[in-house]
Amino acid sequence: MPSTEQAKRVEDDSSVGATEQVKPVSRFTRWYRSPLFNVIVVGFISFTQPGIWNALNNTGAGGQQEPYLVNGANSLTFGIMVFGCSLFSIVANKIGIKKVLIIGTLGYAPYSAALYVNNRYGTEWFVLFGGATCGIAASALWASEGAIALGYADVTNRGKFTGIWLGLRELGQLIGSSIQLSLNVKTQNRGKVGYTTYLVLIALQCLGLPLALLVSPPEKVIKPDGTKLQSAAASKKKISAKDEFRKIWALFKRKEMFLLVPMMIGFQWNTTYLGIYMTKYFSVRARTLGSLTSGIAATFANIFWGWFYDLKRFRRPTLAKICWLTFFVLMLGTFGWQVSNEKTYGDSNPRVTLDWDNPGFGRGFASMVILRFLNESHYMFVYWMMGAFFDDLETLTLAVGIVRSFESLGSCISFGVGASQVAPMVNLIISFVMFGLTIPATSLVVFLVPERPVVVRKGEDGDSVTSAEEINPVAVSKAVEAVDGTRP
């Protein structure tokens, strides 16, 4: 009779019968090669790259006085990511996920440097160039780090690992925003942040490359039970680009994926509006405070949902339904609140400047923080569902690429609309409508969340798709008996 720990591993870990016991190694090597250490490093990489990018963008328009140039650069960034994320997910399966991760650390710092040059000297072309380098790097980074956070973890730990990854990303926003607030705390009027702010943040972004060198490739990862990842053997095989394109197309045609497309395109549109909202109505120091509190709200979302998603009190399909119902009710209510705020501030004459010393500041400020919290909660939800649907690292890499491509498409269009200087109320209404359009398809996809993820494996005759319990039904049956019928 297997022990409880062994039974849970057999039940939950879809690598049953597919893992390889490694030779005895030192305690340090096991720690250094462990999934937990790798996801922590990936989290710190995310902290130095998109975390700092978020710190700048959540002050409103990258800290600039007017949002239109930065919105144009962001539209270019996400336009590149529409194709780049899926392309780099294929490249990651071909040349190795670590190499793609390293590429992902090279393009963010030039964008921040471009914001510095524009802030100090007024140079505009460099901002667009930085937007292009950021788009290439972000495509590689998101295709690799999301796959590592999900693929290196066992099924039962994917909520926690996703929370660690995205929570450490928000640490970048917290630290970056704290620096911004300390350097701009006396600026009570509207305008742009001081240019010295960017120098510290650029230095932090340069730490991403050495951190990426610490990440272990899949074939060297050692799980807590002493086995290798199920994809370790497969990662050593030569994979043709044609086969990868075929796989990503087959994966996209699965209903679990294409039903998520409306959500990925529509739910983040309010990010562009919030940047315009901050630049139009808030003082510089209130904007930096907004960036800091947004980071705190997002970090709380990562910690809370990371814990909640791994609860064994609820079945995974039940968790999906509870979370989605909570999200869309809160999002619709907050949107209604924000329409009221925009009407009040947009009609003010002279234009209102919201500062924390002013009465009524909390009303306009709180709705922004709540929307940031809900946006991050949606991120967690989508990545958790990816880990609930699919199990092997190769498939997760492709799935993350698809998700990020369509999310980038939505962001590209929304930032393009933001760059066209439409009225803030029009931008908000478009965001409201776009989120409403995501509700039917996402409501359907949450009913598809399985109790165990699907495993897509490469066989001699092509891909075979099985559920986790089909891998070794005898072992699973014994394991279920050993844990008295509890859920995986």
Q: Which residues of 182-201 are buried (b: 16+ CB within 10 A; e: fewer)?
A: ebbeebbebebbebebbeeb
SS3 sequence of 437-482? HHHHHHHHHHHHCCCCCEEEEEECCEEEEEEHHHCCHHHHHHHHHH
User: Can you read off the two tokens belonging to residue 342?
Assistant: 């925009």
Distances 238 to 96, 235, 329, 391 between C-alpha atoms, Å? 11, 8, 47, 21
pLDDT score, position 455: 57
Q: Is the pLDDT of residue 255 over 80?
A: yes
113-133 residue pLDDT tens: 888 888 788 788 888 899 999
Cβ-based neighbour number of residue 249 at 10 Å: 12
Does the pTM surpass 0.85? The reply is no
Residue 288 near residue 59 (C-beta atoms within 8 A): yes
Full set of structural domains in the chain with CATH: 19-223+240-470 (1.20.1250.20)
> In this predicted structure, which of 394-398, 441-445, 455-459 has the lowest mean pLDDT?
455-459
Torsion sign over Cα 214, 98, 44, 156: negative
Over 90: is that where the pLDDT of 50 sits? no
Question: For residues 423 and 276, what is the distance between their CA atoms, to the nearest angstrom?
Answer: 9
Find the range with the poorest average confidence among 27-41, 136-150, 235-249, 451-465. 451-465
Residue 313 CB partners (closer than 8 Å, separation 6+)? none
C-alpha distances in angstroms, 175 versus 47, 200, 226, 291, 294? 9, 10, 36, 10, 12
> Per DSSP, which regions of 317-388 are E strands?
none
Can you give the pLDDT at residue 209? 92
d(CA 21, CA 23): 7
Give tens-digit pLDDT for 278-298: 888 888 788 878 878 887 888
CA distance 137 to 55: 17
User: In Å, how far are 331, 340, 378, 384 from 374, measured between CA atoms?
Assistant: 7, 19, 6, 15
Whole-number Å distance between alpha carbons of 91 and 140: 9
pLDDT at position 59 is 52
Residue 185 sits at φ, ψ, to 5 deg, of -65, -20
